[in-house]
Amino acid sequence: MNARLSRRDALLRGAAIGVLKVAPLLGLGDAVSALIAQDKDPARKPTPWNEIGPFYKKLAPNQAKLRGPNDPGLPVTIAGRVFNTRGDVLRGAKIEIWQADHLGLYDLDGYRYRAALVSDSEGKYSFDSVMPGHYPARVCQHVHYVVTAPGHRALITQLYFATDPVFEGDPDGNYNRDPLVLSRELVRPVTLSGDPKAVQANVSFELVLERA
């Protein structure tokens, strides 16, 4: 197994202990990226597959602000970079995301909490949303992803949150309480920032595609 990967995993596991953390000066995602950037071996493990679910909707708008000014729920910013398994930055990758609102309801009739983003010149993407709610018949809070880039296999996955009460503070031990969470790596640490009266959650989620 790639030593760099185990190091990154160890760092993220460490960050997940206690689960909720106040953001350090450098965001966790940036810290991880900085460590990775120092590494000589650029190879990356592909982001694990996770099923698409029944509510994918095509032709979503390119909008990074999914949260309206009066939307209830915990504000969350999700950001990351898109790479391939060789470590090449993927610019112009299409990142389709969709999620339930804070009550766990999907918008089937419109495009609320749905977007099709494009990674920038550094492979970065980000969007502002609310922490998705739990919904019946599904155990964990999650955000769905379909990521496509020319010359690469489409990545279908889901992002989970280490703060999800379902994990009871122990995502390592409890991630598979949701039978659809097949990989611990998809459960990401959550950091809090901002004024105590206006708390904001931040999550880093790197996406690694396999070449076609």
Partner 1 sequence: MKRGLLAGLVIACGLSAQVAEVATIEVTTIEVATIPAEAGFVVLAKTGRLAAAVCRDKTLHVWSLPDGKAVRSIDVGDRAMDVVTISDDGRWIAAGDHRGGYTVWDTASGAVQMELKMAFYPFAIAFSTDGKRIAIAPAGEPVQIYDLASRKKLFELQRPVGGTAAVAFSRDGARIATADADTEVRVYDARTGELISSNADFLMVPLAAAFTADGKHVLTAGGDKIIALVDAATGNVKRRSAKLVDPPIYMETSPDGALLAAGLMHADNMLQPAPLMISEVASGRTVQEWKPATMMVGGTWTTDGHLLVATTTKGAIHLWRVR
Least distance (Å) between residue 127 CB and partner 1: 20
Q: Any contact of residue 1 with partner 1 (CB under 8 A)?
A: no
Question: Which of Fe ion, partner 1, none does 42 bind, CB closer than 5 to 8 A by kind?
Answer: none
Structure-token match 């991630």, residue found: 175
Element (H, E) at 124: strand 124-130
> Does 137 engage in binding with partner 1 (CB under 8 A)?
yes
Secondary structure class of 165 (helix, strand, coil): helix
Q: Looking at 12-20, 46-54, 85-93, 193-201, which segment touches partner 1 (CB under 8 A)?
A: 46-54
Name residue 135's amino acid: Y
Residue 39 binds which entry of partner 1, Fe ion, none, CB below 5-8 Å type-dependent: none
Among 25-33, 69-77, 135-143, 197-205, the segment contacting partner 1 (CB under 8 A): 135-143
* Contact between 69 and partner 1 per CB under 8 A: no
HEC sequence for 170-191? CHHHHHHHCCCCCCHHHEECEE
Site membership for partner 1, residue 212 (CB under 8 A): no
Tokens representing 6 are: 């185990």
Nearest to 189 by CA among 173, 203, 200: 203
Is residue 55 within the footprint of partner 1 (CB under 8 A)? yes
* CA–CA dist 174, 147 (Å, integer): 27
d(CA 115, CA 57): 10
Residue 104 as a binder of Fe ion (CB under 5 A): the answer is: no
> Can residue 154 be called a binding residue for partner 1 (CB under 8 A)?
yes
Residue 150 touches partner 1, criterion: CB under 8 A: no
From residue 142, how far is each of 4, 21, 40, 62 by CA, in Å? 27, 19, 33, 20
Binding site partner of 108, from Fe ion, partner 1, none, Cβ cut-off 5-8 A by kind: partner 1
Q: Between 83 and 106, whose beta carbon lies closer to Fe ion?
A: 106
Residues that bind partner 1 (CB under 8 A): 49, 51-52, 54-59, 105-106, 108, 135-137, 146, 148, 154, 156, 179
